Amino acid sequence: MRGPMRVPALMRVACFAAVATLAATPAAPFERLDGFNVVAVPGHPFGSASARRSLTAARRLGANAVAIIPFLWQASPSSTAIDRGSDMPDAALRTAIRETHALGLRTVIKPHVWIPERWAGTVAPASEDGWRDWFTGYRAALDRIVRIAAEEKADALVVGTELSKTVARPEWRDVIAGVRAAFAGFVFYVAHDVAEAEAVPFWDRLDAIGVSLYPPLGADGDGVGRRAAMRAAVERLDALAQQYGKPVIVAEVGLRSAAGAAAKPWESAEERPAEADSRLQARVLADWLAVLGRPSIRGVLVWRWFTDPGAGGAADTDFTVQNKPAEGVLLCAWTNGCGRR
């Protein structure tokens, strides 16, 4: 890790608000899942000394959980061929689960579908036969992941991530049943923002309502408007939690440390070059943690954390919070350690 970072006074106030609200939340029937989506990067594979340092740093911030992301690959949104990627073979996935458990972290296995220059929400085969073939391939790829998750006793498994155009398909019932038959842990799906979460018809088959949160948050300096947008989204999640009698896991939330990022929180560094603004990232995360501190929300996994302990830093404009003021915000909220950085 780099040298200590001081948390500005404004940020500490937001942190204290987040901690106070979280402390008032009744105990969940299962352990909360608070931590990071962890992405393995070249030169720092799970099992390496550098990856262990990086995960240890996440643990010191108060993370109690990590999402490990094996990728499934397909050539285009309409393609019916989908396969396990080569980024995380079976042995690497096993190592990741064992290493995170050895550090006392709960492990969420969270597969993502990757399409070149697209995203998982565009998956949509062109015919009924195409849909059947796609789900056959998806289940085959997922089955290997589920088997390893079961054998290594992962704590939770995501059956799908942001597959917006697929959720109305009846095949999901069989996918979930197959996962349930093989995996005894906590099972959920991750919807893309609140609108998809409200459209998912199979929450009753799962243990929680999973969602990624990247709603537009307005101008960088408009804290009042930003917090209003956050509350509007989370109130809809409250309603879903009440409707289904399920807790909500915010499986992704975050912001680039870049000027102008609040307007389009989903936008990547590749999509829009911008000047670095790590203070904006820290303020937005502090606001999110404060707004998400309510009984319906039983976990927050920040996007994202790399296995490279030297990732991020003052000049970085990507989503990682590493070696940036946002680390102090998370330390404050997750450990009541405000002012220690």
Phi then psi for 97, rounded to 5 degrees?
-65, -45
| CA pair distance 184, 21, nearest whole angstrom | 32
DSSP state of 146: H
Burial class of residue 262, CB neighbours in 10 A (0-12, 13-18, 19+):
buried
- Nearest residue to 305 (alpha-carbon basis) of 156, 14, 108: 108
Domain, as residue range, for 272: 9-335
Is residue 287 within 8 A of residue 226, CB to CB? The reply is yes
Q: Which residues pair with 203 in a beta bridge?
A: none
- Residue 286 CA, chain-centre distance (Å), reads 16
Whether 3 maps to a domain, the answer reads no
pLDDT at 20: 33
Report the SS3 class of residue 161: strand
Is residue 214 within 8 A of residue 266, CB to CB? The reply is yes
Whether 341 maps to a domain, the answer reads no
Whether 199 maps to a domain, the answer reads yes
| CA pair distance 250, 18, nearest whole angstrom | 15
Is residue 35 within 8 A of residue 289, CB to CB? The reply is no
Whether 18 maps to a domain, the answer reads yes
pLDDT per residue rounded down to tens, the chain (341 residues): 223 333 333 343 334 333 333 322 333 345 799 999 999 999 999 999 999 999 999 999 999 999 999 999 999 999 999 999 888 999 999 999 999 999 999 999 999 999 998 999 999 999 999 999 999 999 999 999 999 999 999 999 999 999 999 999 999 999 999 999 999 999 999 999 999 999 999 999 999 999 999 999 999 999 999 999 999 999 999 999 999 999 999 999 999 999 999 999 999 999 999 999 999 999 999 999 999 999 999 999 999 999 999 999 999 999 999 999 999 999 999 998 675 54
Number of domains in the chain: 1
Whether 38 maps to a domain, the answer reads yes
DSSP letters along 270-332, please?
Answer: TT----B-HHHHHHHHHHHHHHT-STTEEEEEEEEEES-TT---TT--SS--TTSTHHHHHHH
3-state helix, strand, coil in the chain (%, to 5): 40, 20, 40
Whether 95 maps to a domain, the answer reads yes
* Cis geometry, peptide bond prior to residue 60 (ω within 30 degrees of 0): no
Whether 4 maps to a domain, the answer reads no
CATH number, residue 183: 3.20.20.80
Token pair listed for 305: 């954390």
Is residue 210 within 8 A of residue 159, CB to CB? The reply is no
Whether 206 maps to a domain, the answer reads yes
Is residue 121 within 8 A of residue 163, CB to CB? The reply is yes
